[in-house]
């Protein structure tokens, strides 16, 4: 009897590590995968140009102060504006709407006006409709060209990285309204 049950016991011993492996695999946390599993092809570089309208004045502002500077600061240090700004193909607000910039900027410097920008560009144009690009960066607003990093994206911009160049096209010192040209250079799939 004992001689007959031995092979069964050995069989159990030999498959039990496999059972443990399969059980562990079910709860696996991370593993490398092939890029094809996500349908990712060759990485490409794209350039986008549009105009960003920061509208503080009038009855329908798109950029609103949500936190005032808590001190008497010439640079409005600590203030925060929340924005849902239209972005258009041309510099005129009436030109074609290609998306919106949603996020906030905050005054982050005590010696000059430098904004911390945190915003998502949500596009509605053509195949980019619904895709987003996220910008997080330092914006010294009175400089001619401000460069800020593209830190990611969604949709067609998954795995995005790159930078933007912002140039003030028009600014009103009385209302604070501004139109800014954005050139976006982004790597994506
Ligand atoms: C704010 O600062 C300016 C210049 O530094 C000064 O003239 C003004 O009196 C200050 N205002 C207040 C309310 O402290
Ligand atoms: C963008 O996509 C949304 C949702 O799928 C759709 O309702 C809208 O009409 C599209 N806009 C354009 C401009 O294609």
The answer to whether residue 111 sits within a structural domain is yes
Name residues whose C-beta falls within 8 Å of residue 21's C-beta, 6 or more positions apart in sequence. none
**83 within a domain of the structure (yes/no):** yes
Tell me which ligand sits closest to the C-alpha of residue 74. Answer: 1
- 9 in a structural domain: no
Task: Give yes or no for residue 129 CB within 6 A of ligand 2.
Answer: yes
- Report the alpha-carbon distance of residue 181 to residue 28 in Å, rounded: 46
Q: What is the CATH number of the domain that holds 87?
A: 2.40.480.10
Q: Are the C-beta atoms of residues 105 and 139 closer than 8 Å to each other?
A: yes
pLDDT at 27: 86
Atom of ligand 2 nearest to the CA of 126: 14
| Ligand 1 center to 125 CA (angstroms) | 47
In the 3-class helix/strand/coil scheme, how is the chain assigned residue by residue? CHHHHHHHHHHHHHHHHHHHHHHHHHCCCCCCCCHHHHCCCCCEEEEEEEEEEECCCCCCCCEEEEECCCCCCCCCCCCEEEEEEEEECCCCCCCCEEEEEEEEEEECCCCCCEEEEEEEEEECCHHHCCCEEEEEEEEECCCCCEEEEEEEEEHHHCCCEEEEEEEEEEECCCCCCEEEEEEEEEEEC
Give me the pLDDT at residue 125, please.
97
130 Cβ below 6 A of ligand 2? yes
| CB of 124 closer than 6 angstroms to any ligand 2 atom | yes
Closest CA to 50 of 187, 179, 186: 179
Establish if 35 belongs to a structural domain: no
Mean pLDDT per 10-residue interval, the chain, length 189 residues: 50 51 72 92 96 98 97 97 98 98 98 98 98 98 98 98 98 97 97
Quote the pLDDT of residue 26: 79
Q: For the chain, what is the domain count? A: 1
Q: Is residue 160 part of a domain?
A: yes
Q: Tell me the CA–centroid distance for residue 25 and ligand 2, in Å.
A: 41
In sequence order, what are the residues at sequence separation of 6 or more whose Cβ sits closer than 8 angstroms to the Cβ of residue 61?
Answer: 55
In a domain, 97, yes or no: yes
* Residue 11 is assigned to a structural domain of this protein: no
Which ligand is nearest the CA of 127, by number? 2
- Contact (CB, 8 A) for 140 and 146: yes
pLDDT at residue 21, as a whole number:
53
Q: How many whole angstroms from its chain centre is CA 27?
A: 31
pLDDT for 7? 54
Residue 105 lies in a domain: yes
141 lines ligand 2 (CB under 6 A): no
What is the model's pLDDT at position 1? 43
> What residue numbers bound the domain in which 167 lies?
42-188
Pocket probe mutation, ligand 2, options 87, 129, 130, 154, max atoms within 8 Å of Cβ: 129
Length of the chain measured in residues: 189
């Amino acid at each position: 009897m004992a001689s007959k049950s031995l092979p069964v016991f050995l069989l159990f011993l030999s498959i039990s590590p496999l059972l443990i492996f399969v059980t562990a695999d079910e709860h696996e946390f991370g593993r490398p995968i092939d890029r094809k599993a996500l349908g990712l092809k060759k990485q490409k570089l794209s350039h986008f140009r549009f105009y960003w309208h920061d509208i503080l004045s009038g009855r329908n502002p798109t950029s609103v102060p949500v936190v005032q500077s808590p001190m008497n600061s010439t640079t409005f240090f600590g203030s925060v504006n929340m924005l849902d700004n239209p972005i258009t193909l041309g510099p005129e607000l009436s030109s074609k709407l290609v998306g919106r910039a949603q996020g906030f900027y905050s005054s982050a410097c005590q010696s000059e006006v430098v904004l911390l920008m945190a915003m998502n560009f949500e596009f509605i144009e053509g195949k980019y409709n619904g895709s987003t690009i996220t910008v997080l960066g330092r914006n010294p607003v009175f400089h001619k060209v401000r460069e800020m990093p593209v830190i990611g994206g969604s949709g067609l911009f998954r795995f995005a990285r790159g930078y933007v160049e912002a140039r003030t096209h028009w600014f009103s010192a009385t209302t604070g309204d501004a139109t800014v040209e954005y050139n976006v250079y982004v790597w994506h799939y």
